[in-house]
Copies of this chain bind each other. A is one copy, B any other.
């Protein structure tokens, strides 16, 4: 399964194709933060065709947590609008396979699980706007600290569709008060990656009780003069999928994203012919 163990540092600076190739053979099974710089990375949701129309409606109605960047044909493991050689059965470093809403296994290849009625939905991810914040001199605390971003359940209701619904999950990044507006303007330019923050300031306003105790990820330091800023999070659709209790659904493992060939700052998430 793992012919040669490749490290994260070996892949920094290599192309999206090269990273996917290492992932495809399971030579690399780690997280994708900082890899294939400048390319769009994607959250992954694979579900039976029977539920796909409702799930797409759900994502369309909740574009901040669920920005759709690619949808596969039923039973087709390729995603030609996101990358010319993508095979979704092998090209994600780590997958989670759920049955009836319960995690059954975490694997590096879903070839054995794949069936002709599965539909792949790729959703944008926060790496895109974090890179833009960092490029513009805005600190991203969990990146500085080598931690996972803190994620919180909120009381913000999602717009339901079919059996999909619930409350939004957000990420929190402490931003110096003087840079909050700039952070908002920068992230708003990336609607395919959660867009502008959905709130800033008092966590109680959105139903968060304790910023020191995230529901997922790691707590991060809040420095003097910083404001907690909240962005819609890609864990939202994962939660919603689990709550829906589908017979089968497959997601990426947190941080182990699909790397596309689409430029992060492209006007659309559709590869143009070259």
* Interface stretch (choices A1-9, A50-58, A175-183, A235-243): A50-58
Looking across the interface, which residue of chain B has its beta carbon closest to that of A56?
B56
**Cβ of A139 under 8 Å from chain B:** no
**What is the CA–CA distance of A268 and B159 in the complex, to the nearest angstrom?**
13
In A53-83, which residues have CB < 8 Å from any B CB? 53, 56-57, 60-64, 68, 70-71, 73-74, 80-81
Looking across the interface, which residue of chain B has its beta carbon closest to that of A81?
B61
Contact A62 B270 (CB under 8 A): yes
| Chain B residues whose C-beta falls within 8 Å of the C-beta of A56 in the assembled complex | 53, 56, 60, 71
Looking across the interface, which residue of chain B has its beta carbon closest to that of A269?
B63
**What is the CA–CA distance of A19 and B267 in the complex, to the nearest angstrom?**
33
0 or 1 for each of A247-274: is its CB under 8 Å from B? (1 = yes): 0000000000000000000011110000
**Cβ of A133 under 8 Å from chain B:** no
**Cβ of A218 under 8 Å from chain B:** no
A266, chain B: closest CB distance, angstroms: 11
| Known A53-B56, A81-B159; contact A61-B191, beta-carbon cutoff 8 A | no
A13, chain B: closest CB distance, angstroms: 30
Tell me which of B52, B196, B268 contacts A195 (CB under 8 A). B268
**Cβ of A161 under 8 Å from chain B:** yes
**Cβ of A49 under 8 Å from chain B:** yes
**What is the CA–CA distance of A15 and B161 in the complex, to the nearest angstrom?**
29
Central interface residue in A52, A53, A188, by most chain B CB within 10 Å = A53
| Known A53-B56, A56-B53, A81-B159; contact A188-B63, beta-carbon cutoff 8 A | no
Contact B57 A73 (CB under 8 A): yes
A157, chain B: closest CB distance, angstroms: 9
Tell me which of B52, B81, B159 contacts A53 (CB under 8 A). B52
**What is the CA–CA distance of A53 and B60 in the complex, to the nearest angstrom?**
13
24 contacts between A and B (CB under 8 A): A49-B53, A52-B53, A53-B56, A53-B74, A53-B119, A56-B56, A57-B73, A60-B68, A60-B71, A61-B81, A61-B270, A62-B270, A63-B268, A63-B269, A63-B270, A64-B268, A73-B161, A73-B162, A81-B159, A188-B267, A191-B268, A195-B267, A195-B268, A196-B267
